[in-house]
Structure formats: structure tokens, C-alpha cells
């Protein structure tokens, strides 16, 4: 009898919380943070980042708890075309089954405002098989409760259900094709075709690269860039490069490319131009330069920069091996 009364008290408290929190005008939406082709491989090499946005479309403020460890606030339901759910990761299961104190902060979203954060789906679900899957996120406004009994957890699901997002189609391809340099072969996100360098003229090649950056098409942006040469631009990295084995050099190339995408190194070359104009092209049989004026929207003003791209011809294809940049003021 005592257990029955205790359970009733818990459910009553949860019901009161639910009445204060549940609001059909609280919208949870998800989108791919960096849309690209995803491959079946380790999480460290190919994370599937999803941006989760909680938008308050109600006239009143919305309050929820956000755990420091997001695994106690968020869940992902990933299913096959036959509606078979994929298994949770062992890491997630261990994390939630361990008795521990969950630290969180209170988040208040005013009417008409939104709150966003990014999570890696691979941390939650085993994406170990190729195919097309449906991804849906869940947000627990009052945290995930792993310590409650099954009966109480089911009751919580009834009284205080998680907020459910829209669905995304996730295409997981077989392990990526590895080229002769030990790096994955570039694939076109739009067509799924292998990207092949063509014998473009120097100015056409630079236009291709900058247009790809404007569209955030990383594979096309890197297609005509000699990443190894870019790594060796820095004297410290060059010394490390010379001391590394072939495998170590491949890791340096992969790390440098990742750092470029994350705006960690050489941030000038990955800035997104609002427009650009090729001013001058000089080249001989094997080397040359392309001078480009580029304009960038920086807050309320437009910044103007002059780039000089150093290019080399390799196997009849022009590629970028270096660059310099000069600030030309604002407009």
C-alpha cells in the first residue's frame, strides 16, 4: 500500500510539471548542420551533425532543462525504410544506465524566440549499415529519467511526453572510396558522382572554387586545391611534414582540411565572398598567379580584399598551391 501511495505522489508531481511544460506551440525542428554525403565509417572521421532548434510560437515564455551532457536531454530515433529502429550506441546505454548526478541549466525561451544547439547522431545510434534512414529527434523538457522504474517511466511518457521533431532522410553510403593518396575520393553531394579534376583555364578554375565556397560545397572547393602544398606553407608544419611517415602525412592532410572547414587555420581562404571579380591572370607553362578582388559582408559593412592565388599545372590541370591576401578597405 505504501508503494502505491508513493507511486501516486510521484505521478501527481509529474502531472503538475507536465501541465506547466506541455505546449503544442513549442516547435522542435532538426536539419543537417553541414549537409554532405555520409559514409559508413567511424564516428571520429564522419560525424553526422544535426542542428536542433526549439522555437517558442506561443504567447507565453517556455522553460525547460538542458543537461550539460545532452544525452539526458535529447534522443534520436533512426529507422530503416521498413520502420526497423537502429540500435542505440553502447556508449549511450552505459551512460544512461550508470547512477550519476545529472547537471543541467534552466533555459527560458521568450515568445517568438528560438534556441539551437548541435548534436552528432552517431553518438546516439549505431549507423553501421548503408541505406536510407529516417531521423527524428526527441527533446525531454524535464530531462531523461533513467533512474525511474519502468512503470513510472511509462507514466512519464504518457503525462510528459518528449517533444518530437520533424523527420530527415539520411542516406548512409558504403565506406568511402580511397584514392591512391590514401584519402577518400571526392563525391558531388548533389549528384553522388565522383568529382574529377578537369583541364580548366586558371581563371575558370578559380571561379569554380570560389563559386563552390559561396554554396558551401566543400568537396568542390577543395577539388582544385593542393592540400599537401597548403599544409607546407607554414614552416612549423613543413618541418613536421618532413619528419612524418607517409601515414603521418596523410593524417596531417586530413587534419588540416578539417581545421579549414572549422575555421581554425588559414581562415582568410575559407571566408565566403558575397561576390568576386577576377582582375588579372598571369601564367606560363607550369606556374602562374590569379589576382581576384573579393567582397565580404561583415556586419553592417562590406569588406574588400585582394587575393593572389599561386597556381601550378600538374598533369595538365591547374591547382592552387598558395595564396596571399591584402585588405583593401571597406565600402
User: What's the pLDDT tens digit per position in 146-185?
Assistant: 655 445 444 444 445 789 999 999 988 776 555 544 555 5
Sheet holding 287-298, edge to edge: 275-283, 287-298, 301-314, 317-330
Give the CA dihedral 190, 193, 194, 198, nearest 10 degrees: -80
Residues 104 and 242 occupy one common structural domain: no
User: Angle, nearest 10°, between helix axes 150-159 and 2-21?
Assistant: 30
Q: Are 288 and 314 in contact (CB under 8 A)?
A: no
Q: Write the CATH number for 282.
A: 3.10.450.50
Asked if residue 269 is part of any domain, the answer here is: yes
Q: Among 173, 188, 215, which residue terminates a domain?
A: 173
- pLDDT band of 43, cuts 50, 70, 90: very low
Q: Looking at residues 224-247, what average pLDDT do you find?
A: 89
Cα separation, 206 vs 256, whole angstroms: 21
Cα separation, 105 vs 115, whole angstroms: 13
Q: Are 122 and 63 in contact (CB under 8 A)?
A: no
Asked if residue 189 is part of any domain, the answer here is: no
Q: Detail the DSSP E strand segments found in the chain.
A: 26-32, 38-39, 49-56, 62-67, 74-79, 104-109, 114-120, 131-139, 163-173, 275-283, 287-298, 301-314, 317-330
User: Which residues, in sequence order, are CB contacts of 285 under 8 Å at separation 6+?
Assistant: 313
Mean per-residue pLDDT over the chain, rounded:
83
Task: Choose from 16-25, 179-188, 270-279 the range with maximum mean pLDDT.
Answer: 270-279
Q: Write the CATH number for 107.
A: 2.60.40.2360
HSE-CB of 210 using CA atoms within 13 angstroms: 22
Which secondary-structure segment (H or E) carries 248?
Answer: helix 246-261
Q: Among 155, 173, 191, which residue terminates a domain?
A: 173
Cα separation, 152 vs 68, whole angstroms: 24
Residues 134 and 236 occupy one common structural domain: no
| Lowest-confidence region among 57-61, 75-79, 116-120, 153-157 | 153-157
pLDDT at 98: 85
Asked if residue 180 is part of any domain, the answer here is: no
| Lowest-confidence region among 77-91, 176-190, 279-293 | 176-190
Query: Number of folded domains in the chain?
Result: 2
Cα separation, 141 vs 163, whole angstroms: 8
Cα separation, 77 vs 66, whole angstroms: 19
Asked if residue 197 is part of any domain, the answer here is: no
Cα separation, 249 vs 224, whole angstroms: 19
**Domain residue limits at 50:** 2-173
pLDDT at 219: 82
Residues 168 and 208 occupy one common structural domain: no
pLDDT at 192: 58
Q: Among 118, 152, 173, which residue terminates a domain?
A: 173
Report residue 18 as a C-alpha cell.
Answer: 507536465
Q: Are 102 and 72 in contact (CB under 8 A)?
A: yes
Residues 106 and 212 occupy one common structural domain: no
| Lowest-confidence region among 18-32, 71-85, 252-266 | 18-32
- 582540411: which residue's cell? 257
pLDDT at 146: 64
Q: When comparing pLDDT for 257 and 184, which is higher?
A: 257
Percent of the chain, pLDDT > 90? Answer: 50
Asked if residue 225 is part of any domain, the answer here is: yes
Residues 11 and 143 occupy one common structural domain: yes
pLDDT at 328: 94
**What is the full DSSP assignment across 190-246?**
TT-PBP------HHHHHHHHHHHHHTT-HHHHHHTB-HHHHHTTSHHHHHHHHHS-H
Q: Looking at residues 32-48, what average pLDDT do you find?
A: 71
Q: Looking at residues 122-141, what average pLDDT do you find?
A: 92
- pLDDT band of 41, cuts 50, 70, 90: low
Amino acid at each position: 500500500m505504501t508503494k502505491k501511495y508513493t507511486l501516486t505522489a510521484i505521478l501527481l508531481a509529474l502531472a503538475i510539471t507536465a501541465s506547466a511544460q506541455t505546449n503544442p506551440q513549442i516547435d522542435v525542428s532538426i536539419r543537417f548542420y553541414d549537409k554532405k554525403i555520409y559514409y559508413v565509417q567511424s564516428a571520429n572521421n564522419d560525424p553526422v551533425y544535426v542542428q536542433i532548434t526549439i522555437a517558442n510560437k506561443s504567447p507565453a515564455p517556455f522553460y525547460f532543462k538542458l543537461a550539460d551532457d545532452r544525452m539526458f536531454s535529447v534522443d534520436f530515433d533512426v529507422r530503416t525504410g521498413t520502420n526497423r529502429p537502429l540500435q542505440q550506441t553502447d556508449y549511450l546505454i552505459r551512460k544512461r544506465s550508470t547512477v550519476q548526478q545529472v547537471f543541467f541549466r534552466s533555459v527560458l525561451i521568450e515568445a517568438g524566440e528560438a534556441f539551437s544547439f548541435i548534436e552528432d547522431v552517431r553518438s546516439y545510434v549505431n549507423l553501421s549499415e548503408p541505406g536510407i534512414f529516417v531521423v527524428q529527434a526527441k527533446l525531454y523538457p524535464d530531462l531523461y529519467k533513467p533512474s525511474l522504474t519502468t512503470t513510472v517511466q511509462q507514466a512519464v511518457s504518457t503525462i510528459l511526453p518528449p517533444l518530437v521533431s520533424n523527420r530527415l532522410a539520411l542516406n548512409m553510403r558504403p565506406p568511402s572510396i580511397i584514392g591512391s593518396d590514401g584519402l577518400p575520393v571526392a563525391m558531388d553531394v548533389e549528384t553522388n558522382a565522383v568529382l574529377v579534376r578537369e583541364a580548366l583555364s586558371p581563371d575558370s578554375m578559380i571561379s569554380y572554387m570560389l563559386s563552390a565556397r559561396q554554396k558551401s560545397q566543400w568537396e568542390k572547393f577543395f577539388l582544385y586545391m593542393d592540400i599537401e602544398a597548403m599544409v607546407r606553407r607554414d614552416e612549423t608544419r613543413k618541418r613536421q611534414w618532413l619528419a612524418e611517415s607517409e601515414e603521418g602525412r596523410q593524417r596531417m592532410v586530413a587534419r588540416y582540411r578539417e581545421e579549414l572547414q572549422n575555421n581554425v587555420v588559414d581562415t582568410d581562404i575559407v571566408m565566403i565572398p558575397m561576390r568576386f571579380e577576377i582582375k588579372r591572370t598571369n601564367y606560363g607553362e607550369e606556374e602562374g598567379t590569379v589576382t581576384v578582388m573579393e567582397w565580404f559582408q561583415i556586419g553592417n559593412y562590406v569588406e574588400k580584399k585582394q587575393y593572389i592565388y599561386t597556381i601550378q599545372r600538374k598533369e595538365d590541370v591547374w591547382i592552387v598551391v598558395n595564396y596571399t591576401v591584402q585588405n583593401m578597405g571597406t565600402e
